[in-house]
Every structure is written in C-alpha cells, then in structure tokens.
Structure 1
C-alpha cells in the first residue's frame, strides 16, 4: 500500500502517516481508532480545489490534517498540538 489509497468509497491511510502527524506509535493507531480515541473527517474539494481531499485526524489535544490529490500524493501536512489543554470545539469544525 502507498501511504494513501482511494477505492470502493474508502480512504486508506497508512497508520505510520497518522502516527507521525499525531505524535503516536504506529502500532497504537488502529486500536485508538476502534476505541474512538482517534476520529477523522474526509472532505472532498470543490471548485478550484476539485480533485483534492482534506483528511483530518483528531485526538483529545491534537489535530493532524493532510491535503492529498486523487492519486493519494500528499500536497500539504499540518499538525496542531494544544498541549495540556483539550482541543477547542472550533478546531473540529470542517474548513478550519
């Protein structure tokens, strides 16, 4: 698997990519997602952003965002760490 693949209405992201962005161990990612400790959001670009996707992953105090093209190539990475404070609800709003 390349780091990001699209198919059958699914987006598959390599756990190592998510782990690096959220500052976690790769082997913990799948279990944390099953337990709801990591949540995610996928947004499809429109207009001038057509053909791109924004994939965002959340923990209690971190947000990691990838912008990728249809081939799964990463165009942009952005991580925000809120330290000891919980993530503000506004950080979970799409487009922010």
Structure 2
C-alpha cells in the first residue's frame, strides 16, 4: 500500500501495512489496536513540512513511522526498535 486515507475521523491505514511491519497476521491488528497494544502518535508538519503528517505506530518495542503528504501518499517509511525504558 502506498496511500493512507484521510477522513474527518482521522487516518485510515490497511491492517496489512502494520501487520507486515510488526510480523503479525493482518486479522490480529484491529484487536491489538482495541486493546491498546498497538498505539499511535500523529504529528502535523509546520513551516517547510506543512501539508505533511508523520504517523508513528508502536508495538512491543518496535515502531513504524510513516511520513505522508496531504493526499495520504506515503513518502517515507521507517521501522526501528525502541529502547526499553529504565526502571527501578
């Protein structure tokens, strides 16, 4: 998939996109999102990045970051591990 739908309610991404990034079956993605085991952050570009959005999805120490333009076309895709947070 090279496009994300932009709706009045937010962004819509195919489960397959997240499943492929996190090594999951696509059918598990909606359930994991409902359980808040897959979470997301959306950032809106300003200045020279106006019209772009950065969507970052998190799951079990991994992240998928998608940079999209105003039409929802994926401009950049990055997957990376997230360091564990230090605790007592």
What interval of TM-score do these two structures reach, taking the shorter chain for normalisation? 0.7 to 0.9
Q: Residue in 2 aligned with 1:50?
A: 50
TM-score computed with the length of structure 2 as normaliser: 0.85
**Matched residues in 2 for 1:42 and 1:3: separation?**
16
Unaligned runs of 5+ residues in structure 2 are none
Indicate how the Cα distance of structure 1 residues 16 and 27 shifts in structure 2: closer, same or farther if over 3 A, else same.
same
Q: Residue in 2 aligned with 1:69?
A: 69
* 3-state SS of 1:63 partner: strand
Aligned residue pair count: 84
Give per-residue Cα distances to partners, 1:35-91, cap 9 Å, x unaligned.
Answer: 111000111111111111000000121111000111111100000135xxxx435xx
Unaligned runs of 5+ residues in structure 1 are 90-96
TM-score computed with the length of structure 1 as normaliser: 0.79
Matches within 5 A, 1:21-32: 21-32=21-32
* 3-state SS of 1:76 partner: strand
Do structure 1's residue 88 and structure 2's residue 84 form an aligned pair? Answer: yes
Native 8 Å contact 1:53 1:67 kept in 2: yes
**Matched residues in 2 for 1:3 and 1:25: separation?**
20
